[in-house]
Structure 1
């Protein structure tokens, strides 16, 4: 497939190289300019960047991200995940992450295909597979990087080709999407995605806990009440939550709160104290301190810098 030598991507096989080049051409053709672009294929987005980016904070939805050109770094809590054309990223649960394009230029832009993962499709594939299609894996982390193989690359290119044949999309896109999900479930670490499809499993309960935290992020978080809601003990909830998300429930809530406050500051030009109060902080001082620790600047200065970098007029 592909490998790195001396910091460069080397295509190890001519057929792989041909597929990789075709994917680059398709993404370039159907994206056209920098940004994230929806496509006529449900759940498929194309991402293009002609220069390295600043760190971008977001709550990443479940998805497969496959880079055709360039390199990206994703941070989950204190963990770093680097991926490029030799690898792909899978996010199997909503997670607060920081992403940064670190290799891109006008001549060789960063090009990425993102396919949102529908948990219902994963459940269907796992539940009707006999024998099981998923290999045992020691890792439970809901985010991982794995190596691209020929079968997955072929399936992804088949899906991308449909962008040139829009009339075929309603019939063929669901089939090709199912094959892609099948391939990543079969691959090493596929267990990290499949675990959420097992009703009553620890992972399924943690997914429910994540949904409850996101729904009520602006309210005080009681670990005892959250544990009871997902039928776990507080100690088991804490252990399993950190095993899957790389952070505690309180750390998860804090990241969601601060990212939401940042959006309020940017989109509504809210006052710092008001933004902090709206996301659940009672102390403006604590809000400002934790905000600066996460984003590098106090709230108002950070919002001003973001507006300037995005070319937005100040109110």
Structure 2
């Protein structure tokens, strides 16, 4: 058994080295780089980073070199070449690159996906999930395996043959998602796509909150839409996101306000008002609690960095 494990680890290491070489070839500088496959992105960073807040969409993230720490509420998830990260619903997270240097930059692949892609695979493979059971977290880290990496490498190699992309890329992406579903925490992804499951209904509520995050939150209306009681909605929402619906909305508001101040040069009072805050003092207080500094000081720090 130990021999098999050593062989597998050696193979994964070799595959990760090849993946790192491909990412380096397509990333001549630090940043997030799009590819000719619309859902595929490469990320490069030469230095460690401060925590970066974002609302992360459903995606598979594979680190070929370096390490990253992601925080969801109070939960911490670290991933590296030996582990991959999956986010199955839109989640407000903070991400921090914790291992990167100019000689060995952080190199990462991100493959975005939609619940419908998961549902199509589930329906065809006749997989099942427990719709009545507790919802599972919408973010997880799993041990890397050579089967998943083999499919990922075949997708990346297709960038060298653009004429093959329209036919082969969708097939390989489907295989990659199938490998994720077959992984040790595949049910966490499968449940989001299963129509009628608690998690699928929570995913629908998340989209409703995102669409109108500046409006007052009406839990009873959200519960009615999800066909749940208010207490059941709160329970399953927290199981999936680690946040209550109100906390989730607050994070969306504060991240949107930060974007308005940084990118649109809005002042703090106006940004807070645009995202739904009626009290400037409450906005400033909750902003400082989330980002560590009051709005003006935080934006000044961001511009300097």
Normalised by the length of structure 1, the TM-score is 0.91
Q: CA deviation digits over 1:234-269, x for unaligned, max 9?
A: 000000000111010000000000000000000111
Q: Which runs of 4+ in 1 moved over 6 A?
A: 133-139
Aligned equivalent of 1:283: 279
Name the one with the larger helix percent.
2
Aligned equivalent of 1:44: 40
The runs of 5 or more residues in structure 1 that have no matched partner are: 1-9, 310-315
Q: Within 5 Å, give how 1:264-279 maps onto structure 2.
A: 264-279=260-275
- Kindly indicate whether the alpha-carbon contact (under 8 Å) linking 2:8 and 2:146 is maintained by their aligned counterparts in 1: no
Further displaced range: 98-107 or 164-173: 164-173
Aligned equivalent of 2:86: 90
Aligned equivalent of 1:257: 253
Aligned with 2:136 (options 131, 136, 140): 140
Further displaced range: 192-201 or 63-72: 192-201
Aligned equivalent of 1:237: 233
Q: Within 5 Å, give how 1:1-315 maps onto structure 2.
A: 13-130=9-126, 132=127, 140-309=136-305
User: What's the offset of the Cα at 1:16?
Assistant: 2.7
- SS at structure 2 position matched to 1:42: coil
CA distance in 2, matches of 1:133, 1:28: 39
CA distance in 2, matches of 1:93, 1:135: 18
Q: CA deviation digits over 1:144-164, x for unaligned, max 9?
A: 000111100111111111122
- Kindly indicate whether the alpha-carbon contact (under 8 Å) linking 1:134 and 1:190 is maintained by their aligned counterparts in 2: no
- Kindly indicate whether the alpha-carbon contact (under 8 Å) linking 1:134 and 1:185 is maintained by their aligned counterparts in 2: no
- Kindly indicate whether the alpha-carbon contact (under 8 Å) linking 2:30 and 2:44 is maintained by their aligned counterparts in 1: yes
* Pair 1:104–1:151, CA change in 2 (3 A): same
- SS at structure 1 position matched to 2:265: coil
- Kindly indicate whether the alpha-carbon contact (under 8 Å) linking 1:83 and 1:145 is maintained by their aligned counterparts in 2: yes
Q: CA deviation digits over 1:46-105, x for unaligned, max 9?
A: 000000011000000000000000000000000000000000000000000000100000
CA distance in 2, matches of 1:271, 1:208: 33
- SS at structure 1 position matched to 2:125: coil
The runs of 5 or more residues in structure 2 that have no matched partner are: 1-5
Number of equivalences: 299
| Root mean square deviation, CA, Å | 1.8
Normalised by the length of structure 2, the TM-score is 0.94
- Kindly indicate whether the alpha-carbon contact (under 8 Å) linking 2:134 and 2:236 is maintained by their aligned counterparts in 1: no
CA distance in 2, matches of 1:47, 1:11: 29
- Kindly indicate whether the alpha-carbon contact (under 8 Å) linking 2:135 and 2:199 is maintained by their aligned counterparts in 1: no
